[in-house]
């Protein structure tokens, strides 16, 4: 099936009506992603709505993380990696020659699977690491305020306000992940990408992050890769399901749509098989 056919199926958000893409903060069109000669993703077109959580789901190797990394130009950091197609953010081509990838990564932040705070740096300095890298000079008072704002936005402030000068390594895994989210927020991004942010966390910490994700969408556009279907159902507004038909084959978008609809009434049998646990 071609992408055009796939996208015109009932229940699948097609690329055709301009209005859907007009509402999109991010507009992915005909995107293929390569590692050298290997095509990891084939011809993906999807809008990503602003102030909403979009979940990317599908079996291992279907290209979820690759797609996520194309959204802030981290994909091309791998030698030989490249993309075809376009990604526009608020109508601006992310891959235009004049666009600075470093600036893109500031505007579109990323939170990884394993919390990766700078372990010897204090909690406060971890939060301020991004703004300092961007060489913005600010006073101690402004730094303190910025750190507090980001820690509050990451639902971590109350737990750390008495030990801001203590090392990040003294925090639990779940707290470290919220610290990384605070660090991402501190540079005032427009979009936050999360690559399985709870996969290394216990259920209580996972719940805290999920609650946080639901709050973040008030101010940010969030895209999350998750292996956990319940998590996708709980936190996301839109779900995009990808699959891959075999080794050496590229990942493809099967369907995307309103999360409740995708989980309750998938348009594609492959989606139904996956969400009901028949494969993957």
How many Å apart are CA 40 and CA 135, to the nearest integer? 36
71 is a contact residue toward ligand ADP (CB under 6 A)? no
Per-residue interface string for the shown chain with ligand ADP, residues 115-154, x marking contact by CB under 6 A:
----------------------------------------
65 is a contact residue toward ligand ADP (CB under 6 A)? yes
Residues 6+ positions from 34 with CB-CB distance below 8 Å = 40, 80, 81, 82, 83, 84
Residue nearer to ligand ADP on the CB measure, 131 or 251: 251
CB 153, CB 185: distance < 8 Å: yes
CB 206, CB 235: distance < 8 Å: no
40 is a contact residue toward ligand ADP (CB under 6 A)? yes
189: nearest Cα among 147, 220, 151: 220
66 is a contact residue toward ligand ADP (CB under 6 A)? yes
256: nearest Cα among 238, 234, 269: 238
User: What's the DSSP call for residue 138?
Assistant: -
Residues 6+ positions from 233 with CB-CB distance below 8 Å = 239, 259, 260, 263
Stretch that binds ligand ADP, among 58-66, 90-98, 103-111, 269-277 (CB under 6 A): 58-66
Segment 226 to 265, residues that bind ligand ADP, using CB under 6 A = 251
198 is a contact residue toward ligand ADP (CB under 6 A)? no
What minimum distance in Å lies between the beta carbon of 161 and ligand ADP?
36
35 is a contact residue toward ligand ADP (CB under 6 A)? yes
What minimum distance in Å lies between the beta carbon of 162 and ligand ADP?
38
Residues that bind ligand ADP (CB under 6 A): 35, 38, 40, 58, 60-66, 78, 251
């Amino acid at each position: 099936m071609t992408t055009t056919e796939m996208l015109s199926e009932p229940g699948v958000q097609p690329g055709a009506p301009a209005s859907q893409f007009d509402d999109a903060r991010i507009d992915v069109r005909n995107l293929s992603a390569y590692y050298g000669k290997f095509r990891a993703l084939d011809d993906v077109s999807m809008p990503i709505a602003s102030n909403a959580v979009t979940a990317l789901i599908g079996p291992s190797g279907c290209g979820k993380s690759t797609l996520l990394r194309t959204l802030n130009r981290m994909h091309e950091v791998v030698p030989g990696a490249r993309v075809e197609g376009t990604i526009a953010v608020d109508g601006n081509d992310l891959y235009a020659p004049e666009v600075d990838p470093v600036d893109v990564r500031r505007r579109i932040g990323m939170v990884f699977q394993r919390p990766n705070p700078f372990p010897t740096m204090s909690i406060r300095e971890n939060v301020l690491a991004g703004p300092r890298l961007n060489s913005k000079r600010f006073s101690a008072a402004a730094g303190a305020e910025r750190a507090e704002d980001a820690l509050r936005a990451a639902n971590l402030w109350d737990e750390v306000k008495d030990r801001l000068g203590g090392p990040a390594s003294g925090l639990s895994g779940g707290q470290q992940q919220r610290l990384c989210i605070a660090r991402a927020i501190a540079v005032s991004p427009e979009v936050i990408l999360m690559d399985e942010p709870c996969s290394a966390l216990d259920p209580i910490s996972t719940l805290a992050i999920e609650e946080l994700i639901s709050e973040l969408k008030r101010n940010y556009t969030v895209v999350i890769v998750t292996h956990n279907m319940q998590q996708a159902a709980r936190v996301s507004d839109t779900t995009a399901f990808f699959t891959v038909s075999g080794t050496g084959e590229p990942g493809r978008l099967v369907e995307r749509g309103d999360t409740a609809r995708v989980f309750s009434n998938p348009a594609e049998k492959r989606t139904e098989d996956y969400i009901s646990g028949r494969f993957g």
